[in-house]
Amino acid sequence: MFIKRNHILVGVLGLRDIPLKEEYRSDRDDIIKEFFIPCLSNCIEYDRCIEYVSLKGLTTLSMGFDNFAKNKAKLRIVSGHRFNVSDLAIIKKIFSDPTSGLNLQAEDPKFRQVREMVKNHQVAVKIAIPNSDDVVGSFSERIGLFIDDKDDVVAFSGTSNRSFSLDNRNFESVDVFTSWNDKSRVDTKIKDFENLWENKTKYVEVYDFNYAEKNNLLKFSSDWVIERD
């Protein structure tokens, strides 16, 4: 069965069935509609390394893509340790006790869906913090992996945090690799992500979100990531 969403035909496909390019670029492609939505709508796991986690990004994923809304998919995020103050307050409550009620703002259906995903163990966030003088600043790796129920994988790199958002207007490019056409490159991306997830990567320490928050490892400011996703 196929349905129309945002002028894109999506349905029960495998990643291998999606016509993918090796590169998407803002001057010639609609990266969100042509790449992210088809892959997200037809994967069962989405692994992502990003510079920061935002509430808008989480709600976009939870509300916008079929398999996440139907409790069939999982999301793993490795993020840097900078947060917007208002985002952090709600994200902290969602992850510390997803069964509890939040404030009125968080009772919006978008926030409830994120809370349901956390409660159903569909979403997990870990925080990567540089631990070496060889790394100045914060964690900002930008890679992603889509995995379907046939174990086919689409890996990508080069995109920004804004690619969480359907209203993305940044100028950017995305390099795409598939397990059926570029297995060695995809295997490398998978290994890189798994090493981060298991805290086996040089120059960074990786913590569960709740541990990082409780131990005051997160940095936050009302000036950060405002008007960004």
For each of the chain's 229 residues, which pLDDT tens digit applies? 233 333 333 446 799 999 999 999 989 998 888 998 889 888 999 999 998 888 888 877 766 566 666 667 889 999 999 888 888 888 888 888 776 655 545 456 667 778 888 888 888 999 999 998 877 778 989 999 999 999 999 999 987 655 455 555 678 889 999 999 999 999 999 999 999 999 999 999 999 999 999 999 998 877 765 544 4
pLDDT for 66 = 61
Cβ contacts of 148 within 8 Å, gap of 6 or more: 14, 15, 16, 42, 43, 44
Cross-strand partners of 218: none
End-to-end CA separation in angstroms for the chain: 32
CA distance 115 to 107: 10
State how far the alpha carbon of 108 is from the alpha carbons of 104, 178, 213, 219, in Å: 7, 37, 24, 26
CATH 3.30.70.20 fits domain 21-221:
no
Cβ contacts of 67 within 8 Å, gap of 6 or more: 40, 41, 42, 43, 44, 73
Contact by Cβ (8 Å): 125, 21: no
pLDDT for 13 = 77
**Continuous segment of H or E residues that includes residue 88:** helix 85-96
pLDDT for 63 = 62
- What would the pLDDT profile of 176-225 be if each residue is shown by its tens digit? 999 999 999 999 999 999 999 999 999 999 999 999 999 999 988 777 65
CA distance 11 to 228: 30
Angle between helices 85-96 and 55-64 (to 10 degrees): 50
- Domain range summary for the chain, segments of one domain joined by +: 21-221
CA distance 80 to 76: 14
pLDDT for 111 = 73
Q: In the sheet where 204-208 sits, what is the strand order?
A: 23-25, 173-178, 153-157, 143-147, 45-50, 74-79, 123-130, 204-208
* Helix/strand/coil for 166: coil
